[in-house]
């Protein structure tokens, strides 16, 4: 009996053809992207860009902690939170009427099977409006409103209100439609009005989910209200932009730290609230 001879391992990688092909394909795809984005990392190390970078980075320490500056930062941080809160409040005022009109849970004609063509058309139009509001980024809205109402928090509040209004309305109506609809149907079938059905059946069934999504969006709004400051909508972002343009590294460092802390606190608060309510 001869011992089974072990197969000798192949001399070369059996899959080499495929590997080489995919590597080549990836490189061929990558090359035009590198060209389009002017990807030249060595420029970062060229002395004329390295020196200002290092000087700027060195001025980060120590962070600016003058009492006057800290008071300014505190005021602007509050403004950032206030812009987000006011924006979300207005967004809710936009979102709820849209949701009530657009959700198919409250459709009476749909109880009999198919929704009547008129209400169907209305709901689809409203849905298109929501998607339209949502898909223009808030930064673009802010740019437009800064032109109309001038620099200041009004532009930021309006930008957040419009984008988040569309977003909240869309998600709210999806939440209502994916939840339990039996209670609402029972009420509607027995001759309840739509608003009664909403307050006594739809809202209690979905309240926890709706609130937790709203709190999450409030957290997102705080983040985006900082960004909106960069186009002149007030708050922490505007100060950060000014200090960066003046190469005041210490002030930038302080504000970045405050910003990171603000985001972390909003994150924690929103997680806590969602757990408490969920």
Partner 1 sequence: MTPDPAANLPYRLPPRLFNARCAACWFMLAIVVLVLASFWSLDLQWRSFLSAEALASMGRFVSEFFPPDVSQPFLGKVIAATGETLAMSALGTLLAAVLGLALAWPAARLNDGDRARARAPTRLLLNALRSVPELVWATLLLISAGLGPFAGTLALAVHTSGVLGRLFAEAFENAPPGPGFALRAQGVGNGRVLLYATLPQVLPQLMSYTLYRWENNIRAAAVLGVVGAGGLGQLLAFHMGLFHMNKTCTILAAMLLLVALVDALSYAARRWMTR
Footprint of partner 1 on this chain (CB under 8 A)? 30, 32-34, 36-40, 43-44, 49-50, 52-53, 56, 78-79, 81-83, 85-86, 89, 131-132, 135-137, 139-140, 143-144, 147-150, 152-154, 157-158, 223-224, 226-227, 230-231, 237, 240-241, 244, 247, 252, 256, 259-260, 263-264, 273, 276
Please report where in the chains the tokens 């008129």 appear, as a residue.
118
For the chain, the straight-line distance linking the first and the last C-alpha, in angstroms and rounded, comes to: 71
Please state, in angstroms and rounded to a whole number, the distance separating the CA atoms of residues 269 and 208: 16
Residue 37: CB minimum distance to partner 1, A = 4
**Nearer to partner 1 by C-beta: 23 or 140?**
140
What's the Rg (C-alpha) of the chain? 28
**Shortest spacing between CB 21 and partner 1, in angstroms:** 19
- Return the number of the residue (121 or 208) whose C-beta is nearest partner 1: 208
Please calculate the CA angle 214-215-220 and round it to the nearest 5 degrees: 95
Q: Could you tell me the smallest distance in angstroms from the CB atom of residue 275 to partner 1? A: 13
Write phi, then psi, for 269 (nearest 5 degrees).
-60, -45
Nearer CB in complex with partner 1: 111/128: 128
Select 20 or 140, whichever has its Cβ closest to partner 1. Answer: 140
Cα(100)–Cα(124) distance, rounded to whole angstroms?
13
Q: How is 127-187 classified by DSSP, letter by letter?
A: HHHHHHHHHS-HHHHHHHHHHHH-SSHHHHHHHHHHHHHHHHHHHHHHHHHHS--HHHHHH
**For residues 56 and 200, which CB has a smaller minimum distance to partner 1 in the complex?**
56
CB of 1 to partner 1, least distance (A): 31
CB of 2 to partner 1, least distance (A): 30
Q: How far is the CB of 130 from partner 1 (least distance, A)?
A: 13
Is the CB of 110 or the CB of 248 nearer to partner 1? 248
What gap in Å lies between CA 50 and CA 152, rounded to an integer? 35
């Amino acid at each position: 009996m001869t011992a089974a001879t072990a197969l000798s391992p192949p001399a070369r990688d059996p899959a080499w053809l495929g590997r080489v092909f995919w590597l080549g394909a990836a490189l061929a795809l990558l090359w035009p992207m590198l060209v389009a984005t002017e990807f030249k990392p060595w420029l970062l190390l060229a002395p004329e860009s390295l020196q200002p970078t290092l000087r700027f980075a060195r001025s980060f320490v120590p962070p600016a902690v003058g009492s006057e500056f800290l008071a300014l930062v505190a005021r602007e941080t509050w403004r950032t939170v206030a812009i987000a809160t006011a924006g979300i409040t207005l967004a809710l005022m936009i979102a709820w009427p849209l949701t009530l009109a657009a959700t198919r849970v409250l459709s009476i004609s749909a109880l009999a099977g198919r929704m009547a063509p008129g209400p169907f058309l209305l709901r689809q139009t409203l849905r298109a409006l929501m998607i339209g509001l949502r898909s223009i980024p808030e930064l673009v809205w802010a740019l437009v409103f800064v032109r109309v109402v001038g620099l200041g928090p009004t532009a930021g509040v309006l930008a957040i209100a419009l984008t988040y209004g569309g977003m909240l309305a869309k998600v709210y109506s999806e939440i209502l439609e994916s939840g339990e609809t039996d209670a609402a149907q029972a009420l509607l079938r027995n001759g309840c009005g739509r608003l009664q059905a909403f307050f006594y059946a739809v809202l209690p069934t979905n309240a926890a989910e709706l609130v937790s999504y709203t709190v999450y969006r409030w957290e997102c709004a705080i983040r985006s209200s900082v960004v909106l400051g960069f186009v002149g909508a007030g708050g922490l972002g505007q100060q950060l932009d000014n200090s960066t343009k003046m190469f005041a590294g210490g002030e930038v460092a302080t504000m970045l730290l405050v910003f990171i802390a603000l985001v972390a606190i909003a994150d924690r608060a929103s997680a806590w609230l969602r757990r408490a309510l969920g």
